[in-house]
Structure 1
Amino acid sequence: MRFMLASLFLTLGTSQAYAHCHQRSATVLTCTIDQGAKQLEVCLDGEEVIYRFGPPDAPALTLSAPISEVAHQPWPGIGRAIWESTTFQNGAFSYEVHGSFDKLGQISDGRVTVRKNGREIASLSCDSGSTELGLFAISDAKEAAGQCWDPYAQRWGAC
């Protein structure tokens, strides 16, 4: 069932999003921000998760992390929206990318929250209609790498 949902969400979104994930990469989330002036994208390339943010043709920030080390909060399986979040670290800064799909409204959405030393300094929402999601891609990759989510401890560990 989850594979079918993941396949469905890979096609959600509109042609307004400027997806830059390479052909061999899986899209986790892409969208535009600030009426298309900026592009946010998270891609899964093999066992590496890549974050890019900035102008669509020249990202100002690119971060990557191995699938086994990236912080990822999977959807708990309940509620009106299906959602996941992935957090990238860069020194004192963290970039939490959140993607969701409202099952009733049939709307995809996303945002990035930037924190410095744990304190929120920015929260940017995706332009309406520009979000393309590949929900479960990171969760599935973590499981393929031998990690399992412990919902009680709220962390990934060995299966």
Structure 2
Amino acid sequence: MGQKLRVCLAGYGILLGTMAQADCPAGQEAFTSCQIEGRNTEVFVCFDDHVATYSYGPTGGTPELFLSENIEHVDFKPWSGLGKAISESVTFYNGDYAYDVGGGFDRPFSDEEMAQPIRRFGWVEVTQRGERVVSLECIPDTVSYGFGGGIYDAKVAAGLTWSWDSKTWISELIQPTATPSLMQSQPYNPAEDCLPASEFSLNGVAMGDPLDKLGKLGSPEPVEDPTSSGEKIDRMTLVGMALDIFEDVVIAMSSTSPDWKMPSGLRVGLTRGEVIRILGRVPNGYAATSQTFVSHACMENQDTAEWSILIEFGQDRRVSGISFARPWY
């Protein structure tokens, strides 16, 4: 998506981007909008330097659904730069539901195509927990899509960089370290990825900590054995984190809140690209677009060799959970 190409196509962005301006919130401009085929409804995605908004409802009427997200966090997917069709999309999340809205047009390559009306297209796809609920098509003549600048430039101005490998945005606040977090465990052949044992910690609470070190956090309660092994397990439930304790030692931890961070800065809420930057690379056996990453502690002694980490990504391609555990647990 070169700057020269954006400049060359700016005229098309102006031509195709005038329909929705009056229906955007005050101070915002349209990214894309259209009327939905066969539904007598319309959709608008608008933005300014700080916020992007989504509205859907009856044509000319009050929106049935209105969502907003800050520019840094909004899930915007830029054009790949390939093919005849130019299109971009924005996805808004609302609980288990995701609303992906896109707009685009075919770019002309000849004088004959330049003389023809531009083919426009757009869509709204709704999913629930990643499963498609409905796909809607736009009436072509109603599509407004202003390619060039827009949300892309707003995100770049906010200090974000698009990663094509992970298909996520990376904050400039997340910088590579001199020593990558992800290492290789040499005793194995071939060598396996591992993390230092010091990384198996959240806000200073670590795997292997004795119960008496956790006194200020609260008291654990017995829970039903999750593995049916017959062992007695106690659980300490905190805001955004849970600790499992066996024989007065922490044997498992799980976090669902960005407030709990690993020493390297890994936490819930980071994009997949940001996790890869902190790790230093994609873990062996996984792709930059994988829904999970799994690794284990570098072998320092018999105990740490058993620790494993599971990083899970949600439908928004951000970390939804981080878990530490022993393999048998």
Calculate the TM-score normalised by the size of structure 2: 0.45
| Contact 1:26–1:44 (CA under 8 A) maintained in structure 2 | yes
Give the superposition deviation at 1:152: 2.1
Aligned match of 1:116: 128
- Written as runs of structure 1 = structure 2, the 5 A alignment for 1:55-94 is 55=58, 56-94=60-98
- What amino acid sits opposite 1:156 in the alignment? W
* Match for residue 160 of structure 2 among 144, 147, 156: 147
4+ residue segments displaced more than 3 Å: none
1 or 2, which has the higher strand percentage? 1
Q: Structure 1 residues 78, 20: CA separation in 2 closer, same or farther (over 3 Å shift)?
A: same
CA distance in 2 between counterparts of 1:133 and 1:157 reads 25
Q: Tell whether the 8 Å contact from 2:43 to 2:56 is kept in structure 1 after alignment.
A: yes
Q: Deviations over 1:20-72 (max 9, x none)?
A: 11462121011111457111110003310000001122010000000100111
Matched, 1:54 2:47: no
2:140 is aligned with what amino acid? S
Question: Which residue of structure 2 aligns with residue 26 of structure 1?
Answer: 29
- Does the C-alpha gap of structure 1 residues 133 and 31 become closer, same or farther in structure 2, counting only changes over 3 Å? same
Q: 1:3 to 1:26 in 2, by over 3 A?
A: farther
Secondary structure, counterpart of 1:11 in structure 2? helix
SS of equivalent residue, structure 1 residue 57: coil
Unaligned runs of at least 5 residues, structure 2:
173-329
2:77 is aligned with what amino acid? Answer: Q
Identity %: 36
Tell me by how many angstroms 1:4 deviates: 5.0
Q: Could you say which structure has the greater relative contact order, defined with CA pairs below 8 angstroms and 6 or more residues apart?
A: 1
Give the TM-score, by structure 1 length.
0.88
Structure 1 or 2: more helix by fraction: 2
Alpha-carbon separation, structure 1, partners of 2:8 and 2:26: 21
The answer to whether the 8 A contact 1:18-1:31 is kept is no
Range that drifts further, 66-75 or 32-41: 32-41
Aligned match of 2:106 = 102
RMSD: 2.2
Which moves more between the two structures, 89-98 or 136-145?
136-145
How many residues matched?
158
| Paired residues of 2:125 and 2:135 also in contact (CA < 8 A) | yes
The answer (yes or no) to whether the contact 1:14–1:131 under 8 Å persists in 2 is no
How far is 1:85 from its partner? 1.2
Structure with higher Rg: it is: 2
Residue identity in the other structure for 1:45 = D
Distance 2:10 2:17 in 1: 13
Listed as ranges, the gaps of 5+ residues in structure 1 are none
Cα 1:87–1:60 shift into 2, 3 Å: same
SS of match in other structure, 1:129: helix
